[in-house]
Amino acid sequence: MEKADIRSYDLEELKEFFVSLGEKPFRAKQAYSWLHQKHITDFGEMTDFSKQLREKLAEACTLSVLRQARVQQSKLDGTRKYLFALPDGNLVESVFLRYKHGNSVCVSSQAGCRMGCRFCASTLDGLARNLTPGEMLEQVYRIREDVGERVSNVVVMGMGEPLDNYQNLLKFLQILTGEGGENISGRNVTVSTCGLVPQMRSLAEEKLQLTLAVSLHAPTQEKRLALMPIAAKYEIHEVIDACRHYFARTGRRVTFEYSLMAGVNDTGQDARQLAELLRGLNCHVNLIPVNPVRERGYAQPERAAVQKFKEKLERLGVNATVRREMGRDIDGACGQLRRRYGSGKEL
């Protein structure tokens, strides 16, 4: 049997684990603090445990640690983009962003992705595997230790489809927002999905106070399907209904991500149809000029066209902002850094 990753256990599971090793349950609390507050990278660092116990742990489980393979820092705004190697050599990207309201980390949930969105670099090689809760936490922990500053916001908007890795995502969120760890408020956490309807409905029942972000990118089923294969499985109105449900159950306003592509989804008619689609829904639209990916061939609209699209939405009663582009100079689009370095096994 494969050994379990000790960083992926919540406190209850950790207690059971220690008991199963014939240890006292209070050891779990000590270990939890080493894992999730002190962010240790080696069992040897658990200095209040005997050498014998540390060796027993190293025998019985693994400890996920991410290795920083590359880091790029933007000269424009201090954004730092990390390429991390997982214990098995797979690579994922994470981003550190410094805002006025606090520091934010963008986390990957999978190595690769199987959703196939036409404009996205992360999905070009398909899905390698799901990340464990410990590997998702590690992205936050390594960045926190690297910059030496507290992280107040987490967005699960890196590589992968978080709701396609649902159980691990939930465990990650629980440890991230729970006491005894980073204790980040659920209100400061955003999970972004391409629109997996059953999981969106489940998430509404989790009482986590998260912001749900939904990648919409088109105002009609036909146009969306041309950009996002997942639309064949979950039709656009089903996605919008699941958003209404999410708001009704949680009181949290849903965010829509709409990546503007010149000549594809940026016309006045697109804006009108989008406003029509979202009518009566308490939501916010984030407009993101598409990040051109060499293999994809989509282009950003002119600045003025982006502004016009935003103003049109606002006139039609839809809240909209144009997302400030951070780290423009450092391979902004998800998956680009990883692609540049191939599978990463050689790093």
CB of 60 to ligand SAH, least distance (A): 34
Query: For 332, left (φ over 0), alpha (ψ -120 to 50), or beta?
Result: alpha
200 touches ligand SAH by CB under 6 A: no
Nearer to ligand SAH, 214 or 275 (CB): 214
Neighbouring C-alpha atoms within 13 Å toward the C-beta of 329: 9
182 touches ligand SAH by CB under 6 A: no
The count of residues interacting with ligand SAH (CB under 6 A) is 17
User: Residue from 28, 61, 157, 231 that binds ligand SAH (CB under 6 A)?
Assistant: 157
Spatial neighbors of 42 by CB under 8 A, at least 6 apart, are 63, 65
Nearer to ligand SAH, 194 or 285 (CB): 194
User: Residue from 290, 306, 313, 326 that binds ligand SAH (CB under 6 A)?
Assistant: 290
Alpha helix stretches (DSSP H) within the chain: 11-20, 26-36, 51-60, 133-147, 166-177, 197-203, 221-227, 236-250, 268-277, 303-315, 336-340
Site string for ligand SAH, 247-286 (x = CB under 6 A): ----------x-x---------------------------
82 touches ligand SAH by CB under 6 A: no
Phi/psi for 189 (5° steps) reads -120, 135
Dihedral angle sign, alpha carbons of residues 291, 296, 302, 304: negative
Closest to 95 measured CA to CA, from 87, 85, 107, 103: 107
Length of the chain: 347
Buried b (16+ CB within 10 A) or exposed e, 213-242: bbbbbbbbbebbeebbebbeebebebbbeb
CB of 219 to ligand SAH, least distance (A): 15
CA-CA distance, 7 to 212, in Å (whole number)?
A: 25
Q: Which of these ranges, 11-19, 42-50, 90-98, 189-197, lies near ligand SAH under the rule CB under 6 A?
A: 189-197
Type of residue found at 75: K
Site string for ligand SAH, 93-132 (x = CB under 6 A): ------------------------x-xx------------
203 touches ligand SAH by CB under 6 A: no
330 touches ligand SAH by CB under 6 A: no
CA-CA distance, 227 to 120, in Å (whole number)?
A: 10
User: Residue from 79, 165, 177, 192 that binds ligand SAH (CB under 6 A)?
Assistant: 192
139 touches ligand SAH by CB under 6 A: no
331 touches ligand SAH by CB under 6 A: no
User: Exposed, middle or buried by CB within 10 Å (0-12, 13-18, 19+), for 291?
Assistant: buried
Is 206 marked active-site? no
Compute the radius of gyration of the chain from its Cα atoms: 21
CB of 259 to ligand SAH, least distance (A): 4
3-state secondary structure of 287: strand
CB of 31 to ligand SAH, least distance (A): 32
Q: Which of 12, 194, 334, 346 is catalytic?
A: 334
Nearer to ligand SAH, 14 or 136 (CB): 136
User: Residue from 270, 291, 327, 344 that binds ligand SAH (CB under 6 A)?
Assistant: 291
Is 117 marked active-site? no
User: Residue from 105, 154, 334, 337 that binds ligand SAH (CB under 6 A)?
Assistant: 334
Q: Which of 12, 45, 93, 257 is catalytic?
A: 93
Closest to 109 measured CA to CA, from 159, 184, 171, 166: 159
Type of residue found at 219: P
Question: Would you tell me which residues interact with ligand SAH (CB under 6 A)?
Answer: 117, 119-120, 157, 161, 192-194, 215, 257, 259, 288, 290-291, 293, 333-334
Catalytic site residues? 93, 334
